[in-house]
Amino acid sequence: MLARKTLHLIMACTASVSVGLASLSIASAQATQYAEKPPLLLGAAWYPEQWPESRWEADLELMEAAHLHLVRVGEFAWSVMEPAEDKYDFAWLDRAIELAAKHHICVVLGTPTAAPPAWLTTKYPDTLRMDEKGVRDEHGNRQQFSFASERYRKFAHEITEKMAERYGHNPNVVGWQLDNEYAAPSFDPEAKAQFHAWLKAKYGTIDNLNNRWTTSYWSQTYDNFDEIPVREKGENPGLLLDWKHFVSDTWKSYSANQISAIRPHADKRQFITTNTMGWFDGFDEYVVHSNLDIAAWDDYIGDEHYDWLDNGARHDMTRGFKDKNFWVMETQPAFVNWHAVNSTLARGQVRDMAWQAIGHGADAVAYWQWRSALNGQEQYHGVLVGADGTPVPVYDEVKQVGEEFDKTGKALEGTTPQSSVALINDYDSRWAINFQRHNRNFDPVAEMVNFYGPLYKQAQSVDVISVHDSLDKYKLVVAAGLNVLSKETADHLLAYMKQGGNLVLGPRSGMKDEYDALNVERQPGPLVDALGGRVEQFYALEDKVPVSGDTGSGSASLWAEQLSAKAVDTQVLLRYGASNGWLDNQPAAITRKVGKGTITYVGAWIDDDLLAKLTSSLLQQHGVKPILPDAPDGVEVCQRKGNGHSVLILINHNTAKAHVKLPHEMRDLLGDGSRTSVDLPAYGVDVLSEK
């Protein structure tokens, strides 16, 4: 790798000397052509517009020395690219990209639409977003635009097209990030009118909407679509769910606007993505990803501590958005600036997190950010280079990761995790539960992660997917809380089970139809017949309730459903112990054969130990085997396969060292030679391949 890089550099230099200055840009821009880019990319968000040009080379040299081969550039630089309406300046960006190429660093270009310039919002205040109370944002901060504004979209299209015309064939630009972290919707009159039109297109007649939303309740009956209020809370659940669908479609069309500016001018090899935010549920990611090429997310640890299982679940979910490898477009170089206490990752954990990303199918990891702007809202955020322009302590750890990515890239190229277990991530259900939690602590994501934890530890690979995806390749599909279950989705699940698939439904499943109305069969709605049983009543719990069965004993908290097993062949797996009288001795989990497969319904939020016993018995029953059966607790085992390669990534998330026995002799890709076991220090990583 080093030799090849040096050769490129020599070639670039020779070309410039021998054929003169005019060819310099071509020669150096070819230094990291797409075809030459390393298979695994480590990088950083870089903001050349915030620094004097005389500083750029020093930054890029430091990046190159740390084996960083990627910068994301431009996503907040609109006022520099278009300093006044229709006056463009891209010369600085041309030079920044060219200089990056010289240092073997490829570029993802961010469209700058998350930060409109002051001239735009001042002259056209109708482009600013409005909150639910009708208050317009003012210029300042960022993301102050209305996602539905036609005028804003026109400006966004123009600046994006100008960029695409200029860089769509640039050999050093590998892809595009649209905007930055889509988030807040707008409630301005234009957005409202679009929502009303959207509802009209969906329902056809107002009577149909009135019927689906049961608007005779509280005299909500509407005479026409324009009367419908637009709110995110405290409204009819049917309205709330449709608003989320509208928001999802609107972000999708927001992307489509920019995609239509890029695609006609860009090489096919340049991907188009946007950067998403893990569990964020402002819109349906599957809808928003339907017109993107790859998924990319910003991996910041959710609270102040790194919960590797939760983080792994978010990687797997992101991989599921496009059912292929993804990018980590941003991650923290040790700490952020937006928590109550911005504690740091321990020494070693930045590397641990980078390898976890790769283990779950990332092909790139980029730090946010390279260096803090001297002023601006994020002066305290973690960086790789300090205010003086020299490395901060974490730089060396990142450099180690960079060396390791270079070393292992070839073996990992074209490989991806492979799972026979899937966990369902369903936005409709998450929203519907959050609209009416009934127990304030019933967090649908926490319940998903409760199931993910033991499944992942026991199977060592889990796909997190949409319920609408093809399920055929999975031995086990688990939906932790499939609250919204339409007849169509139920048919999809039934077809899977009849062919031999095994479905597990968690508490609150099947309560609602696709309009967020109650299913008349009770839970699990259209699957009651297949289950041969149903939910007789649900209870929000203040106190724990004992639960036991053949798999073991434990307790339920937060939520318990009193089940009935009506069909003779429906078996009871778990029963409640003495509780409120209603639940005493009643079924808590039931199961039944369906065609060649099975359906299992777990009606309670059960404790971690009992849930682990239940998932272990289900995995065994349905023939799911771990990759490395005896891995110590807290040592994550990831495997990527493909392209004739099989690579094992071991990560010790513990604060103590761990010894891992390998199934047979394997080649150590980080060290030398081969081995049959590995000793990992705290936060240690090893990468091994079949010999």
Q: Which residues are catalytic?
A: 181, 330
Query: Which strand (E) or helix (H) includes residue 411?
Result: helix 394-412
Q: Least distance to ligand GLA from the beta carbon of 380, Å?
A: 10
Q: What is the DSSP string of 144-182?
A: -B-TT-HHHHHHHHHHHHHHHHHHTT-TTEEEEE-SSS-
- Measured between alpha carbons, how far is residue 372 from residues 128, 369, 410 in Å? 27, 7, 33
By Cβ distance, which residue is nearest to ligand GLA?
A: 298
Residue type, 632: P
- The contacts of residue 247 (CB under 8 Å, 6+ apart) are 185, 282, 283
Closest CB 118 distance from ligand GLA, rounded Å: 19
The residues pairing with 504 across neighbouring beta strands, listed in sequence order, are 478, 600
Q: Does 179 bind ligand GLA (CB under 6 A)?
A: no
State which residue, 99 or 336, has the beta carbon closest to ligand GLA: 336
The helix (H) or strand (E) run that includes residue 680 is strand 674-680
Strand order in the sheet with 326-331: 271-273, 173-177, 106-110, 70-73, 41-45, 362-367, 326-331, 296-299, 275-276
* Contact pattern from residue 280 through residue 309 relative to ligand GLA, giving x for each residue in contact according to CB under 6 A and a dash for the rest: ------------------x-x---------
Asked if 330 interacts with ligand GLA (CB under 6 A), we say yes
Contact present, 280 and 434 (Cβ < 8 Å): no
Nearer of residues 241 and 365 to ligand GLA, judged by Cβ: 365
Strands 604-606 and 552-565, sheet pairing: antiparallel
The number of residues that bind ligand GLA (CB under 6 A) is 9
Angle at 362 between CA 367 and CA 652, to 5 degrees: 85
> Residue with structure tokens 């240092």?
103
DSSP per position, 457-526: HHHS--EEE-TTS--TT-SEEEETT--B--HHHHHHHHHHHHTT-EEEE-TTTT-B-TTSPBPTT-TTGG
Q: Which is nearest to 169 in space by CA: 266, 271, 95?
A: 266
Using H for helix, E for strand and C for coil, what is the string for 329-362? Answer: EEECCCCCCCCCCCCCCCCCHHHHHHHHHHHCCE
**Does residue number 314 form part of the binding site for ligand GLA (CB under 6 A)?**
no
The one among 191, 240, 328, 336 contacting ligand GLA by CB under 6 A: 336
Whether 556 and 545 have beta carbons less than 8 Å apart is answered as: yes
| Straight-line distance from the first to the last Cα atom of the chain, in angstroms, rounded to the nearest whole number | 21
CB 658 within 8 Å of CB 635: yes
CB of 181 to ligand GLA, least distance (A): 5
131 or 378: CB nearest ligand GLA: 378
CB of 166 to ligand GLA, least distance (A): 23
Residues 68 and 43 sit within 8 Å (Cβ to Cβ): yes
Q: Which is nearer to ligand GLA, 300 or 308 (CB)?
A: 300
Pick between residue 379 and residue 441 the one whose CB is nearest to ligand GLA: 379
When asked if residue 180 is in the footprint of ligand GLA (CB under 6 A), the reply is: yes
Give the CA count within 13 Å in the CB-facing half-sphere of 328: 33
Measured between alpha carbons, how far is 75 from 329 in angstroms, rounded to an integer?
12
Which neighbouring-strand residues pair with 1? none
**Which C-beta is closer to ligand GLA: that of 180 or that of 250?**
180
Q: How far is the CB of 81 from ligand GLA (least distance, A)?
A: 17
Nearer to ligand GLA, 143 or 210 (CB): 143
Give the residue, chosen from 319, 381, 534, 613, that forms a contact with ligand GLA under the rule CB under 6 A.
Answer: 381
Contact between 181 and ligand GLA by CB under 6 A: the answer reads: yes
Smaller CB separation from ligand GLA, 378 or 529: 378
Nearer to ligand GLA by Cβ, of 59 and 181: the residue is 181
Among 368, 395, 452, 456, binds ligand GLA (CB under 6 A): 368
| Smallest distance, ligand GLA to C-beta of residue 282, A | 14
CB of 141 to ligand GLA, least distance (A): 11
The residues binding ligand GLA (CB under 6 A) are 180-181, 298, 300, 330, 336, 368, 378, 381
